[in-house]
Structure 1
Amino acid sequence: MTYLGEGWDSTATLVGGWVERRPRREEIGPQLVRESVVMPWLAPRLPLPVPVPEVVSSSPVVVRHELVPGAEVDVLTAAMGRQLGEFLLALHASSVDEATRLGVGRLVLPVERFRAEVRVPGGEELLARLDDLPADTLVHGDLGPEHVLGAGGALTGVIDFGDLHIGDAAIELAWALHSTPPEFASALADTYGVTGELRERASVWHRLGPWHEVLHGNDIGDPRVVEVGLAGVMKRL
């Protein structure tokens, strides 16, 4: 048994060749069960390997899936950018109606908590932008360096679909366009067909990212996490 790590929502352990995931909070249990329903439908439509969990225990909730190959990538290349662009094109072409039928919901942002807990100059202007963002695409919802795996100079998989939802396609481009090397971001943008409007919305999501970290720090009672989150909020604003 090998402990693989934990995110905000779940822990992962390698047991006998399988990755076992357990919720860190009670409300995450249904989220893991939902993945076990949605991912068998979604995985065959995607050009990179993704987890396809199955429920092995309902009380407490435990799901398991095959280990997705690869590790976090140190150097993101143009070829990888094209791969991720193709992955996002396939994901975003998936049927919203079918995903909804399988239990995928729309994103509900904690705007009132943002207002109450992240009081910074210029913050209200950013929050006002959220009212105009669309919610018409099936999205991963938490695409970042820890969830995009690679090996041997190529991407090998995408993991952690716990935040899968019906939302704005531009949320996937926040990290991919604003926190990656220019050659990667440019290749991804060309492959995906990023428009000026998409790029601007991606900037909104990029600036909003650290706000969630502040709330998470408050939830777990860790002022250090809150401090880092606030520093990120100010830097991106």
Structure 2
Amino acid sequence: MTYLGEGWDSTAELVDGWVVRRPRRPEIGPQLLREAAVMPWLAPRLPLPVPVPEIVSQEPVVVRHALVRGELVSLTAVQGRQLGEFLRALHAVPVEEAARRGVGPMPLPIDRFRAEVRVPGGAELLAELDGLPADTLVHGDLGPEHVLGRDGVLTGVIDFGDLHVGDAAIDLAWALHSTPPEFAGALAETYGVTRELRERALIWHRLGPWHEVLHGNDIGDPEVVEVGLTGVLERLRTG
């Protein structure tokens, strides 16, 4: 058994070649069970390997899936094109079929944002969230730790716990606004990013650290809160 680490929602261990995941909090159990129901249907539609969990136990919740091999990537133009193709395929999946498998919208904690993240310019950013579309199947948490590669190419995308029906631009936030120009440009060209999509992606990019503040409050860790607040202010300033 090898301990692989933990995210905000679950822990992961490598046991006999399987990645075994357990929820860190009771409310995450249904999320892992939903992944086990959705990913076998979704995986064949995508051009890169993704985790396909199966249920080991429902009480307590334990799921497992084959290891998606790879490491953190260097973010080249080749990989940008690959991720652009991946997102184009994911965002083309019919949301009606996803809904039949239990995937729906994921409401934002707007009230908590207002109460717990009080910074100059914060109210204006939250106002920009009004009216954003929610009509696309999205990964919902796409960042550098969830995109794997090896030998200069992508080898997989992991962590679909936040899969939901939302704004396609949320999956472009990191990819367009926190990556090298050659990666972002290749992705944008392959995906077909419009000016409107890029602007919406910037809104989601600015909002990212807000979730870190809330997470720090949830686990009672002032250092996590401070890191989150620093990120909030930096992104509001640099936009």
Q: TM-score band (shorter)?
A: over 0.9
How many residue pairs get aligned? The number is: 236
Identity of aligned residues (%): 81
Q: Deviations over 1:87-122 (max 9, x none)?
A: 000000001001001000102000000000000010
How far, CA to CA, are the matches of 2:118 and 2:148 in structure 1? 35
Give the partner amino acid of 1:229.
Answer: G
Partner of 1:63: 63
Partner of 2:84: 85
Partner of 1:113: 112
1:225 aligns with 2:194: no
1:153-172 mapped onto 2 (5 Å cutoff): 153-172=152-171
TM-score (norm: length of structure 1) = 0.99
Deviation at 1:154, TM superposition (A): 0.2
Partner of 1:47: 47
Partner of 2:31: 31
When the two chains are superposed, the root-mean-square deviation of aligned CA atoms in Å is: 0.4
Deviation at 1:16, TM superposition (A): 0.1
Partner of 1:21: 21
1:10 aligns with 2:10: yes
Q: Deviations over 1:202-236 (max 9, x none)?
A: 00000000000000000000000000000000000
**Gaps in structure 2 of 5+ consecutive residues:** none
Partner of 2:185: 186
How far, CA to CA, are the matches of 1:62 and 1:107 in structure 2? 23
Give the partner amino acid of 2:80.
Answer: G
1:187-206 mapped onto 2 (5 Å cutoff): 187-206=186-205
Where 1:14 maps in the other structure, the secondary structure is strand
**Gaps in structure 1 of 5+ consecutive residues:** none
Partner of 2:233: 234
Deviation at 1:69, TM superposition (A): 1.2
Deviation at 1:132, TM superposition (A): 1.7
How far, CA to CA, are the matches of 2:69 and 2:37 in structure 1? 22
Where 1:90 maps in the other structure, the secondary structure is helix
Deviation at 1:72, TM superposition (A): 1.3
Where 1:186 maps in the other structure, the secondary structure is helix
1:135 aligns with 2:134: yes
Where 2:231 maps in the other structure, the secondary structure is helix
Segments of 4+ moved more than 6 angstroms:
none
Where 1:76 maps in the other structure, the secondary structure is coil
Where 1:57 maps in the other structure, the secondary structure is strand
